[in-house]
Amino acid sequence: MMLRLGFAWSTSSATTKHIAQARLFTGSLLRKNSPRTLYNNRCSGLPKGLQFGQKSVLASTKLFWDSSRSSGVIFFSMASGSDGPDRSKTPKHTNRLSKEKSSYLLQHAHNPVDWYPWGQEAFDKAKSEDKPIFLSVGYSTCHWCHVMERESFEDEEIGKILSKNFVCIKVDREERPDVDKVYMTFVQATSGGGGWPMSVWLTPELKPFIGGTYFPPRDSGRRSGLKTVLLRIIEQWQSNRETLESSGERVLETLRKGTEISASPGETLPSGPDVANRCYQQLAHSYEEEYGGFREAPKFPSPVNLMFLMSFWAVNRASSEGAEALRMVLHTLRMMALGGIHDHVAQGFHRYSTDSSWHVPHFEKMLYDQGQLSVAYITAYQVSGERLFADVARDVLLYVSRDLSDMSGGFYSAEDADSFPTVESIEKREGAFCVWTAGEIRELLPDIVIYDPHGELQGQNVLIVRYSVELTAAHFGISVDRLSELLSDARAKLAEVRRARPPPHLDTKMLASWNGLMLSGFARVGAVLGDKALLERAERAACFLQEHLWDEEGQRILHSCYRGDNMEVEQAASPIAGFLDDYTFVVCGLLDLFEATQRVHWLQWAEELQLRQDQLFWDSQGSGYFCSDPSDPTLLLALKQDQDGAEPSANSVSAMNLLRLSHLTGRQDWIQRPQQLLTAFSDRLIKVPVALPDMVRSVMAQHYTLKQIVICGQPDAEDTASLISCVNSLFLPHKVLMLADGNTEGFLYQRLPILSTLVSQDGKATAYVCENFACALPVTCPQELRRLLLE
């Protein structure tokens, strides 16, 4: 599937010239009577122009996705590499990928292509045979990756061309995000677009010279097919190799300079309010009024934007801009919750909407979305008190607990969009697990009125909420309670039928980074709702990370582990060392867990991981953190991610982690480090802060300073719990919360000597609200504490 990403680098005239030359040269190889043949389909999904009906009510649930108004949904079958209906047959081909753990690599284990995983064996072969490398990057739930596999990598003729003339390397982008980032940067620069599957041709020294995304197998109209492209590259490699290599080298050198991010001597941190106001204005300019969100279509949830807007409101409550920011975010979250991007039968959120109204999703579900959206929805509940938002946050965690959870406590990565419509089906279809015909609905729910005057429910339909329960109950002349009962029964019946359908592929890879995001979700929601079960699930996730993804001997995080055939957790033969995202998101999750449970060992581990992160990734010359080990010789670019996208930039999250840790541990060096980090990104923050909304939140925290909220009391006492509950009920983006239990030999008292001076008043649990540990008068009443916190 195609996804346009935004990379930022300064483009001098020399930069522009070299990239333009590379584009022209690449075009000459890929062109078939057209200026550019890189296939830039924007995200997989449904054909444009689908028409939708106006009214179709299943109580308050609308059924959508009317294929009767168009030529119908165009489905592409997923290549059956390892899980098709004929999987019991002995495969005709088996390559090295059969020994891998990654679901994506295993899907290609029986292609007629001599695939290698990323590693020294492949590099050595390319050098010894002096062959170019064909690098193919994707992930297991990527729809267009499945399409390209079925069309090209299962094609015997194309397989022979690839295997004879190239060293073919297959990479799971979720398993090796470092490799993906380097070559995606090249593809972005030379083609003007990017996405997955990504196809890049490299020299034996791993230097890219041509790149693209999806290619059809053979020429189609004015678009060159993969076979044609391969033959042209082979010819050019033999007759014009020097030009190929020099063109790629020029672009690489330009990218090395253009992607460099560092603080200039004497440069200072930009103004927090100025940067925040500019970010707000840029988001407001792209806001879509009718259904919320920040573009027309396809429309992504973008939790980083939503969290920024709520933080902006928190410090601008009295202004019209603050009120507008809150209106935008709450409307967006409501529309998403009511739309088809939200799974009303099996819970959780799909990856994005193919239309502007959140109705028809691309059906894959990603763990990182669930983690971030659960936090966004519970934050909306904190700021609004609207129960819908709390219910949706719980709904997300129910889905993750049921469908994405391993027995070990870890969380799986994703569910695919494609599945077999029936047990007898021989090809997969996108959304088959989730959609319904009108006939199915009538058969399953015969006693519920279906209002369908125009026959709009022909074809396949996605469930959405159209009207409120109050309006719907009034329309049908029944009570709200009775309607809620009917809807609950209807959803249960639909869920039972869906469970009998062939399920979509589940990627059971467990990533430290995404588990960290999900840990934050369970911790934050559990704290706000006072739900002990959710907090216990969060602690199980933290224990999983410590047991399975922390290498005690090597003192390092491991990036991934896998569910084995016998349901046990397995590790790869050569475990992948953790990247910056892994450390950053796990530290954030542990800090959220510490504040939710006040169990100090989680704070201690967060401190340990932060120290290790500093050693491995900090740029001591230019400030900021590299995305991966800068000393790795196989990575040609040392990158610092400068965009908060589907996931926040690890540098954005690190800035806030360091600030929180400095106030929780008393480490003075961590007071200065986030300022240095943010200064390195100051040019980007000043010009296009909308590219880094999560980092803007950290700039705001630097400006407004964090409040230290100290609760002095006994851990299990009711009055202590009341004060903590009061704090957790409010959205306070610039605070840390700690419990002073009187144990002066404990970690917090040893690190923060001021805690010994803060004591309970009159034998009651007492709250102190401090800034830079200068504290306001103590309070013992939750109402007084609430007033103090909102001043």
In terms of C-beta density within 10 A (0-12 exposed, 13-18 middle, 19 or more buried), how is residue 110 classed? buried
Q: Over the chain (791 residues), what is each successive 10-residue block's mean pLDDT?
A: 30 44 52 38 30 29 32 30 53 95 97 98 98 97 94 98 98 97 94 92 96 94 93 96 92 91 88 97 96 92 98 97 98 97 96 94 96 98 97 98 97 95 91 90 75 52 89 93 92 93 96 98 98 98 98 97 94 96 98 98 98 97 95 94 95 98 95 95 96 98 94 96 98 97 95 94 95 90 96 84
CB contact set of 236 (below 8 Å; sequence gap of 6+): 29, 243, 244
Give me the numbers of helices (H) and strands (E) for the chain, helices first please: 27, 25
The model scores a pTM over 0.85: yes
In terms of C-beta density within 10 A (0-12 exposed, 13-18 middle, 19 or more buried), how is residue 296 classed? exposed
Burial string for 547-570 (b: 16+ CB within 10 Å, else e) reads ebbbeeeeebbbbbbbbeeeeebe
pLDDT of residue 82: 39
Which tokens belong to 196? Answer: 């997955």
- Cα(153)–Cα(146) distance, rounded to whole angstroms? 10
Q: Is 349 helix (H, G, I), strand (E, B) or coil?
A: strand
Q: Which ranges constitute the DSSP H helices of 404-467?
A: 438-444
CA atoms within 13 A on the CB side of 588: 30
Q: How far is CA 39 from CA 214, 592, 715, in A?
A: 6, 42, 59
pLDDT of residue 19: 52
